[in-house]
């Protein structure tokens, strides 16, 4: 395997799940499974739209509020939304995907949590986020805080 492909991704950053009730889901994952809340991101109406739960340094479960169980598939259906793979060098990973002929669904951008990211997808259309977590990102800050508490 060439060096460029070996460094495209380095691990699983998070799995994103859309949930019906953010409060019920946070209670389940923290109270039943013992995960710790890392941080929240709020919508314009001050309701928590996203909650990150800490698994291990750099690894999270991301909960999105507002899911439904309606039969028609769509962006708000409860369940797994996407996988996020982490990298230490977002530009190198972006170029590696491009050079390998992979689909690029976005350019590199800064996310709400101050991470760097771009999107691709697998042959079945499953969405894949590639993310770098610089020191100022909410994920890196939570890693430092929560690993110190362990």
Dihedral, CA of residue 85, residue 62, residue 68 and residue 117, to nearest 10: -40
- At residue 37 the predicted structure's pLDDT band, cuts being 50, 70 and 90, is very high
Range of the domain at 71: 3-149
CA-nearest of 117, 113, 110 to 62 is 113
Give yes or no for residue 43 having a pLDDT over 70: yes
Q: How many other C-beta atoms are found inside a 10 Å radius of the C-beta of residue 58?
A: 19
Q: Quote the pLDDT of residue 1.
A: 46
Cα-to-chain-centroid distance, residue 90? 14
Number of domains in the chain: 1
Q: Quote the pLDDT of residue 148.
A: 81
């Amino acid at each position: 395997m060439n060096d460029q492909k070996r460094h495209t991704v380095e691990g699983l950053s998070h799995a994103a799940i859309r949930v019906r009730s953010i409060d019920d889901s946070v209670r389940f994952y923290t109270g039943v499974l013992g995960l710790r809340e890392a941080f929240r991101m709020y919508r314009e109406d001050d309701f928590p739209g996203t909650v990150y739960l800490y698994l291990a340094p750099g690894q999270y479960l991301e909960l999105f509020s507002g899911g439904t169980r309606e039969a028609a598939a769509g962006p708000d259906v409860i369940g797994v939304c996407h996988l996020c793979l982490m990298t230490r060098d977002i530009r190198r990973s972006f170029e590696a995907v491009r050079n390998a002929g992979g689909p690029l669904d976005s350019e590199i951008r800064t996310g709400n949590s101050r991470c760097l990211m771009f999107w691709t997808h697998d042959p079945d259309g499953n969405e894949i986020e590639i993310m770098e977590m610089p020191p100022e990102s909410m994920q890196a800050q939570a890693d430092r805080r929560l690993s110190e508490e362990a």
